[in-house]
Structure 1
Amino acid sequence: MDDTTRVSRRTMLVTLAGGGTAAVAIAAPAFSNQLAQQVREAAVTNGWARQFFSLANAGFTEWRQQVGSIFLLGGGFRMKLVAVTPLSSKGKRPSSVGRSSAFIAVFDPVGNAAVPGDLIHTARHPQYGTLPIFLSAAPTAKSPRRMVAVFN
């Protein structure tokens, strides 16, 4: 073998390192979202730590744990989270989405308030702080002022 076709150890190491770096760069987004979600779930079990997280990025389980919570909306409206229902979301989720599945958060107004629907409201949770939330009217016979928010 002559010197022009021979691969040096240095070239081989650089090539392998570059290939390994590329593989990590391709796989990292999928793992980082899973890791971030696991870290978040562990942290929010501590009530004090919740203030550093937003429900805007929370998943189904974290929202379900808040059923019964009262959210204060701009304009003085108070909404009680009465249910969190999973949504069927077929196919692979984008790597940029922090949630593992879609869900609906169901709210009923406290008192007899009529909250305007199909608007983005600023909602304040007593432990998580504020988040923007798009609420739509979803009246039922039993709850004529019911509102829902879809989280994808």
Structure 2
Amino acid sequence: MNSEEVKLVQESFAKVAPISEAAAQIFYDRLFEVAPQVKAMFPDDMSEQRKKLMATLAVVVGGLGNLQSILPAASALAKRHVAYGAKPAHYPVVGGALLWTLEKGLGEAWTPDVAAAWTSAYGTLSGYMISEAYGTVQAAE
């Protein structure tokens, strides 16, 4: 990721942060709509899960300018997700739901440049997480 992409991701996330509860609800609703099979990996009461999602995103987005600072946490998260049943093929589904949520939440502020920056950020981190969790970089299908 280049510095302009980092700036676009951080500035756009700052616009989503005030509506983080609604954004998390929209994200999980979308995820379960497009991949209903993953719902079983989550608790019935999603309130804490939604808070964890937004807190994790805040840490990751805040650390994008110094990627090395967030990689240990991303590695640990990826390894925990294996125990929950996550597979490499889930990563692009989650990414799609995240980008869709951001597009809905940002409205006109979701520009092609912002979309590209988020796509780059998610691709970078999900590729790293897949590598950490499964031992090799695998093409997510």
TM-score greater than 0.5 by the shorter chain: no
Structure 2 length-normalised TM: 0.28
RCO greater where, 1 or 2, for CA within 8 Å and sep 6 or more?
2
TM-score (normalizing by structure 1): 0.26
Larger radius of gyration: 1
